[in-house]
């Protein structure tokens, strides 16, 4: 029983070594693990119900099994114990190291004569004299390759609560281990990649002043020749640190290994901080293999090389500077998002293997770095509208420490302005933030709902003179364009000026498209500002989508329907209903969906196969009688 747990996976190996035929139960979600262990479908069953009794009795020709190793816990353990006892053949043995449903041996001998029933704790019951030769025999079998170590997932001690919850749900395979990571050694060395950059300098100072690190190895491509490197080394030396600045590329595994091997053994490596990275922004259709490779190499390949070069060392810290773009997405940063998502996954993999790792997905810092220095005023304004505010340096470094105390491998460090977030149309927000926007309380949520709900432009424009229709849509376009460009006054957006001359690029163009889609409910092309390169031409395009020839509102096509659905989506997102009311809304929506599917489905061909698929048992029998001429 429970053959994917620690006891179960060990027992399967030993039973096979002894020549036994193994039947195994596990949670159905873990049956792929049983399959990988070589246990075929005929020899496996669910540990969540009693069906294993009949399944295994049938598989053994009615005889039953000789040994039951019971590792089951939780609800209905007594029923499963009874089923297991019934499954034993005469002279069988029931071994229960879990003690979840201990029975009275005398009563059990009456109920199940001939069964050898053992409930035990290994060490006190066997005694050291028996355990010692058992361990010696096991070690020999491991040395010979007969047995293999169990799968292990390690959890840092700070996450003991999550580990115990994970174990209680039987979601693990093999063994769970709580690890106590070594403390950051003040006399050890911390290696920082991108070491002469702005963020690297800030964390280096923080490690010296707050964590009392005395030896730093700063790694960058230009090393001592990088701008500001000399000043940084001087500043850190004045704080009492010994600093080595080395020119090496962390994406070169050989060069990185040489740097690691050259660290003074009297001050061994105690921590790694990977801050290196570059950006080459472009919308996804403009990405090239070269832009992907350069960004990926600097961030993801370097992270992988750091892992390989240090995984054998007893590090206390392995910190990857990731980006929130890998969590939330960011227009124009498909390559950067992918590289940072890799860092997040690498941290999770390391921690799973019992190695220290924390990947911090940073938002914007107020201190200008090599990467954020490339942001334009419009870029910063766009992030602000999405609720992302800059992190003050002191705040960011406090989050750096908090991330390591918390213990999770993947964390987001973001200064989020929830009211600003809630004021945006839900449709243009990253999916991960929409819940925060709609859960912001009371008045903010109601105000946000008004902003988020698309206007019924088809109805608004109906019956208006053509000139007035154009003017209203022009006002819509100019207002949103001014917002995207960071202007307070829409007059800055001249109606016939080319968008390119006003400062639009592919990223701001996509944002304008998203805002106009949210406002009108229309599906608009990504290259909208390039296809219609001025406010006037774009307003005329929108009028053509919203208004039919002759000036009456367009009634045909799918766009009005999608607009209504967008408005409904926004309304539902802003609701905060009691459970009963929410259930009533859900029932009504499901009813409407069923009606729509029935009304819009293409007519099915009336053939025998279709009718049999939908038929009841009585209808199937009647069909057979009719076809065979027996009715």
First to last CA, the chain: 51
Burial 98-135 (b: 16+ CB within 10 A, else e): bebbebeeeebeeebeebebebeeeeeeeeeeeeeeee
The CA distance from 479 to 470, in Å, is 14
pLDDT of residue 413 exceeding 90, the answer is yes
371 pLDDT tier (thresholds 50, 70, 90):
low
Label residue 456 by pLDDT band (50, 70, 90): confident
pLDDT in tens, 35-77: 999 999 999 999 888 899 999 999 999 999 999 998 877 666 7
Question: Does residue 308 surpass a pLDDT of 90?
Answer: yes
Is the pLDDT at 618 greater than 60, yes or no?
A: no
Residues in contact with 190: Cβ distance below 8 Å, sequence separation at least 6, in sequence order:
184, 204, 207, 213, 215, 216, 217, 269, 270, 271, 272, 273, 317
CB 325 within 8 A of CB 286: no
The mean per-residue pLDDT over the stretch 223-246 comes to 95
CATH C-level class of 457-555: mainly alpha
Mean pLDDT for the stretch of residues 407-436:
80
Domain boundaries, the chain: 6-149, 189-287+314-411, 457-555, 601-631
Q: Rg of the chain's alpha carbons, rounded to an integer?
A: 33
CA atoms of 337 and 84, how far apart (whole Å)? 52
CB atoms within 10 A of CB 8: 26
pLDDT category, 361, cuts 50, 70, 90? very high
- For 6-149, CATH number? 3.90.180.10
DSSP string, 39-60: --GGGEEESSSSHHHHHHHHHT
Options 1.10.357.10, 3.50.30.30, 1.10.510.10, 3.40.50.720; CATH for 189-287+314-411 is 3.40.50.720
Asked if residues 197 and 370 have their Cβ atoms less than 8 Å apart, the reply is: yes
């Amino acid at each position: 029983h429970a053959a994917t747990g620690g006891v179960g996976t060990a027992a399967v190996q030993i039973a096979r070594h002894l020549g036994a035929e193994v039947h195994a139960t596990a949670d159905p979600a873990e049956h792929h693990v049983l399959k990988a262990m070589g246990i075929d479908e005929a020899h496996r069953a669910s540990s969540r119900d009693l069906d294993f009794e009949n399944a295994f009795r049938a598989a053994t020709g009615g005889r039953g099994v000789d040994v039951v190793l019971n590792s089951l816990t939780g609800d209905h353990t007594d029923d499963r114990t009874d089923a297991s006892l019934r499954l034993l053949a005469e002279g069988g043995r029931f071994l229960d190291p879990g003690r979840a449903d201990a029975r009275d041996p005398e009563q059990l001998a009456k109920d199940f004569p001939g069964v050898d029933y053992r409930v035990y704790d290994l060490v006190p019951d066997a005694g050291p004299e028996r355990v010692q030769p058992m361990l010696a025999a096991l070690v020999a079998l491991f040395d010979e390759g007969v047995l293999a170590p169990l799968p292990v997932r390690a959890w840092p001690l700070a996450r003991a609560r999550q580990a115990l919850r994970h174990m209680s749900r039987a979601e693990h395979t093999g063994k769970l281990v709580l690890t106590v990571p070594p403390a950051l050694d003040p006399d050890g060395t911390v290696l920082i990649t991108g070491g002469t950059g702005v963020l690297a300098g800030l964390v280096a100072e923080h490690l010296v002043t707050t964590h009392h690190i005395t030896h730093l190895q700063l790694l960058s491509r230009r090393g001592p020749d990088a701008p500001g490197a000399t000043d940084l080394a001087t500043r850190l030396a004045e704080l009492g640190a010994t600093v080595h600045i080395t020119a090496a590329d962390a994406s070169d595994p050989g060069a990185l290994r040489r740097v690691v091997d050259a660290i003074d053994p009297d001050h061994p490596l105690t921590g790694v901080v990977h801050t290196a990275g570059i950006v080459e922004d472009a919308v996804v259709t403009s990405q090239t293999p070269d832009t992907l490779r350069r960004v990926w190499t600097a961030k993801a390949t370097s992270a992988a090389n750091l892992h390989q070069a240090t995984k054998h060392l007893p590090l206390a810290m392995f910190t990857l500077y990731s980006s929130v773009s890998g969590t939330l997405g960011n227009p124009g940063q498909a390559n950067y998002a992918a590289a940072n998502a890799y860092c997040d996954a690498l941290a999770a993999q390391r921690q799973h293997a019992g190695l220290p790792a924390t990947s911090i997905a940073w938002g914007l810092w107020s201190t200008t770095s090599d990467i954020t220095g490339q942001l334009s005023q419009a870029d910063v304004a766009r992030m602000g509208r999405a609720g992302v505010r800059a992190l003050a340096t002191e705040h960011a470094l406090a989050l750096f420490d908090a991330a390591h105390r918390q213990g999770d491998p993947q964390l987001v460090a973001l200064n989020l302005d929830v009211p600003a977030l809630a004021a945006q149309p839900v449709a243009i927000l990253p999916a991960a933030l929409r819940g925060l926007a709609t859960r912001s309380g009371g008045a903010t949520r109601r105000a946000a709902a008004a902003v988020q709900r698309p206007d019924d432009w088809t109805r608004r424009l109906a019956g208006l003179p053509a000139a007035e229709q154009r003017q209203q849509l022009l006002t819509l376009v100019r207002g949103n364009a001014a917002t995207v460009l960071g202007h307070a006054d829409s007059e800055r957006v001249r109606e016939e000026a080319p968008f390119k001359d006003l400062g639009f690029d592919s990223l701001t163009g996509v944002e304008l498209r998203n805002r106009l889609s949210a406002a009108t409910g229309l599906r608009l092309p990504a290259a909208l500002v390039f296809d219609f390169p001025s406010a006037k031409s774009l307003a005329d395009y929108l009028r053509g989508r919203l208004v039919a020839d002759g000036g009456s509102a367009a009634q045909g096509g799918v766009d009005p329907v999608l607009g209504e659905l967008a408005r409904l989506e926004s309304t539902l997102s802003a609701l905060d209903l009691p459970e009963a009311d929410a259930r009533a809304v859900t029932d009504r929506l499901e009813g409407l969906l069923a009606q729509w599917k029935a009304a819009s489905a293409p007519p099915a061909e009336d053939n025998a196969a279709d009718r049999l698929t939908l038929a009841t048992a009585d209808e199937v029998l009647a069909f057979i009688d009719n076809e065979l001429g027996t009715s």
